[in-house]
Structure 1
Amino acid sequence: MPKAELHCHIEGAASTDLVRRQAQKYGVDMEHLIDGQRFVWNDFTSFLTAYDAAAALFRTEEDYALLAQSYLVSIAEEGAIYSEVFISPDHATRAGLSPQAYVDGLGEGIRRARESHGIEGRLIITCVRHFDAGAAIDVARFAASQPHAFVTGFGMGGDERIGSHADFARAFDIARDAGLGITTHAGEIAGPDSIRDALDHVRPTRLGHGVRAIEDPALVEQLAREEIVLEVCPGSNVSLSVFSGFDDHPFRALRDAGVRVTLNADDPPYFATSLGAEYAIAQTEFGLSDDDLLATTRTALEAAFVDEETRAALLAKL
């Protein structure tokens, strides 16, 4: 089954095996944060602790090239033909690496994976919501400077319970004016008002998560009418208790209501998932047929932040 994803945080995609190798390289003890093939955490705070500790093990341009290559190869082996990953220049700064070297390393990893496995990849530069708006403008200007041919989108992550998208509208305007695709996290931890806030102030074509829209029927109708694509991450949602289980998850209800939904892994090893596992969840838990899954891949490719020639080539693989 050809697969495509639009929502994965690159530092959160590092497998436990890769993190162990990086820890050995830099002489860091990570065993207390790793259990088999997943990271150890029990609430959002401990999740961030494990995430930040693992992310801190990627410190050079080559480290990031290896990270991107490893992740893309892993999902290519599950049938993926396309992936967009969220990247944050803030991680590069904390690692003592320039944002440009960070982007160049990730771009090299994408190139290697394409060469070896035929998978296409793109980068979405993100600002952080719980940082100040000035920092977001700096990140947007960096993204708009066209630091790499694979940088095709701009978005925002962080704690969506803090502030409003209105505070970051200028940053999104800078990115949009530069021709970058626009997405933002909304409707995951916070409810429908978070989604309306995003739609009103930054006019995204896609939403990271967006699943809490199900609580507002009028909003669901708006998303369907305006063809806003949702980057849905069922495994992540259940792991973080956004929903109590897959039987409560609104993926199928949103799809049946005409909302354009896609399947994504978010931070795969933290939630014991993968892109292939998300497709399996959609089939076994949500009752999607093979044709439904193929249509979901098509939706992702139609919404991808790529040039039209690349999009046509990807769609032809379906």
Structure 2
Amino acid sequence: MEIKRLPKIELHCHLDGSVRPETLFELSKKEGLDLGVETVEEFRKLVEAPQDCKSLDEYLEKFDIANKVMQTKENITRITYELMEDVAADNVKYIEIRFAPLLHINKGLTFEEIVESVISGIKRGEEEFGIHGNLILSCMRTMPVEACFEVVEKGAKYLGKGVVAVDLCSSERAGFPEVFKAPINLAKKLGYRITIHAGETGIGENVLKSIELLDAERIGHGVYSKDCPEAYKLLKEKNVVLEVCPTSNVQTKAVVSYEEHPMKEYFEDGIKVTINTDNMTVSNTDLNKEYEILEDMNIFNEDDYKQMYMYGVEASFATEEVKEKLRSYIY
């Protein structure tokens, strides 16, 4: 199939993991960071995860530099706008960008300034590149529950103005859904849609609890759903969509290879699978690359692709008007 000409939907993309390396290198020098490298090519080794990355935690270390430079309104807006430009060039028609606002307060920005900077970049990108975008506010599971309440409560004023959902991300530990039940349930009441990182690092029960306790409509990764029969059953019964990120899953050792990934098994058994990048820079990927790898390995074909595209449309947190436009692209 001609991957590049096909329309695409990106439901799982982290802003701080998808900064152009050239921009990140430039801003690092501007901000006075001592990185010990002289060229962009050398710099890439600092921000891209290697294929022999040993774990999710090692993978997450690659976000450090991006978060250090994403501490001004100008930098945040520029980075967001450039991401919109990059994905539009790959024929992505709709993207949901996620980021954790509380990672960007280190130089005095307010929560409002941070969120508005991202929304500004999205809106400018929409106007210039004919793409639609929305924002997901991420709560870090490494932060106290009170921090999650802060994100949910302060972010509510932006619902319908660029923000559509809330997420839980970062290192995965057993039992986290119980810990964050109260703030995520509040988010649901306030009108947020819910997507949760779960089952990425070998804990299938987290998928079950994310659906039962947190009302997750989508699951980020969900690789280990099959290891919890109750979770697997619930994914099918409730039509919960998986945001699968193949290259990232290989790098974090969620799976040992693309061929060993259960995504095809899930898809053929009726679970709604979508393909995403996770982090375009950290994983050195884009949606074209993801689909090309899967096609070359005979994991998915064009008919599968079209089905997953439609899963992405229906699972997106876009308005019905935008969804209708997205449906028209595939036809």
TM above 0.5, yes or no, is: yes
Tell me how far apart the structure 2 counterparts of residues 167 and 36 of structure 1 sit (CA, whole Å).
35
Task: State the match for 1:241 in structure 2.
Answer: 253
Q: Does 1:9 align with 2:21?
A: no
Q: 1:134 to 1:35 in 2, by over 3 A?
A: closer
SS in 2 for 1:212: helix
Q: 1:28 aligns with which of 24, 27, 33?
A: 33
Tell me how far apart the structure 1 counterparts of residues 49 and 305 of structure 2 sit (CA, whole Å).
31
Q: 1:84 to 1:193 in 2, by over 3 A?
A: same
Q: 2:270 aligns with which of 236, 255, 258?
A: 258
TM-score, normalized by length of structure 2?
Answer: 0.90
Tell me how far apart the structure 2 counterparts of residues 252 and 218 of structure 1 sit (CA, whole Å).
19
SS in 2 for 1:54: helix
Long gaps (5+) in structure 2: 1-5
Q: 2:24 aligns with which of 19, 36, 39?
A: 19
Tell me how far apart the structure 2 counterparts of residues 236 and 57 of structure 1 sit (CA, whole Å).
23
Tell me how far apart the structure 2 counterparts of residues 145 and 168 of structure 1 sit (CA, whole Å).
21
Tell me how far apart the structure 1 counterparts of residues 158 and 77 of structure 2 sit (CA, whole Å).
19
Shift of 1:47: 3.3
Displacement over 6 Å in runs of 4+: none
The 8 Å contact of residues 128 and 157 in structure 1, kept in 2 or not, is answered as yes
Q: How does 1:299-310 map to 2 (within 5 A)?
A: 299-310=311-322
Tell me how far apart the structure 2 counterparts of residues 239 and 14 of structure 1 sit (CA, whole Å).
18
Task: State the match for 2:295 in structure 1.
Answer: 283
The 8 Å contact of residues 57 and 171 in structure 2, kept in 1 or not, is answered as no
Tell me how far apart the structure 2 counterparts of residues 100 and 288 of structure 1 sit (CA, whole Å).
42
Task: State the match for 1:179 in structure 2.
Answer: 191
The 8 Å contact of residues 17 and 37 in structure 1, kept in 2 or not, is answered as no
Q: 1:144 aligns with which of 156, 164, 168?
A: 156
Task: State the match for 1:202 in structure 2.
Answer: 214
The 8 Å contact of residues 130 and 158 in structure 1, kept in 2 or not, is answered as yes
Letter in 1 for 2:267: R
Tell me how far apart the structure 2 counterparts of residues 196 and 170 of structure 1 sit (CA, whole Å).
17
| Aligned residues with identical type, % of pairs | 27
Task: State the match for 1:134 in structure 2.
Answer: 146
Long gaps (5+) in structure 1: none
Which is further off, 101-110 or 273-282?
A: 273-282
The 8 Å contact of residues 167 and 196 in structure 2, kept in 1 or not, is answered as yes
Tell me how far apart the structure 2 counterparts of residues 102 and 136 of structure 1 sit (CA, whole Å).
16
CA offset digits 1:93-125 (Å, max 9, x no partner): 124211111111111111121122111111001
Tell me how far apart the structure 1 counterparts of residues 274 and 49 of structure 2 sit (CA, whole Å).
27
CA offset digits 1:174-195 (Å, max 9, x no partner): 2111221101110001321111
Which is further off, 205-214 or 154-163?
A: 154-163
The 8 Å contact of residues 143 and 175 in structure 1, kept in 2 or not, is answered as no
Q: 2:114 aligns with which of 102, 105, 112?
A: 102
Tell me how far apart the structure 1 counterparts of residues 36 and 282 of structure 2 sit (CA, whole Å).
14
